[in-house]
Amino acid sequence: MKITTALFAAAALLLPVSVQAEPKPTKTVVEIAVGADDFSTLVAAVKAGGLVEALSGEGPFTIFAPTNEAFAKLPKGTVETLLKPENKEKLASILKYHVVAGKVMAADVKAGKVKTLNGAEATIAIADGKVTIDKASIVKTDIVGTNGVIHVIDSVILPAAK
């Protein structure tokens, strides 16, 4: 009886283990944002800023995406003003400040300066296991798309005034 149990245990070790692979993403980072209720303000801004096509491109991109709640923290009237056609360039610059070239997963994030697509540098800080970008907390990570990754942040980040 002991030999049979030992044989079964040994055979179990030799059997191939079925590993569930992560599903391959099927949507771009823009399509993911469009499909998420929490990003409706961001999507409206990306459209108004004329960045849908660029952010739907090959990438890869790392997007630090503010939620609707994050946009609501801005002073009253700010979002409405930025969405006006005459402010398209300023809006595009702010949105590009939320994007870094390349696909940076949460496990690969390091403290320090990162160059954003608007040309300015944002500061990543890590303290007590909490990661921030320009003091905005990263509240959800690694939402993977076909052309990059989204990390959700709790505040809109703004480049320093020139």
Does the residue 2 lie in any domain?
Answer: no
Does the residue 104 lie in any domain?
Answer: yes
Question: CA-based diameter of the chain, in Å?
Answer: 83
Question: Residue 7: which pLDDT band, with cuts at 50, 70 and 90?
Answer: very low
User: Which amino acid is located at 23 in the chain?
Assistant: P
> Is a pLDDT exceeding 50 seen at residue 8?
no
Does the residue 124 lie in any domain?
Answer: yes
Q: What is the H or E stretch that residue 34 is in?
A: helix 29-34
Does the residue 115 lie in any domain?
Answer: yes
Does the residue 95 lie in any domain?
Answer: yes
Number of separate domains in the chain: 1
Does the residue 6 lie in any domain?
Answer: no
User: Which amino acid is located at 102 in the chain?
Assistant: G
**Can you give the pLDDT at residue 20?**
54
Range of the structural domain that residue 65 is part of: 25-153
Does the residue 145 lie in any domain?
Answer: yes
Query: How far apart are the C-alpha atoms of 120 and 137, rounded to whole Å?
Result: 19
The chain-wide mean pLDDT, for the chain, equals: 87
10/110: higher pLDDT = 110
**Can you give the pLDDT at residue 26?**
84
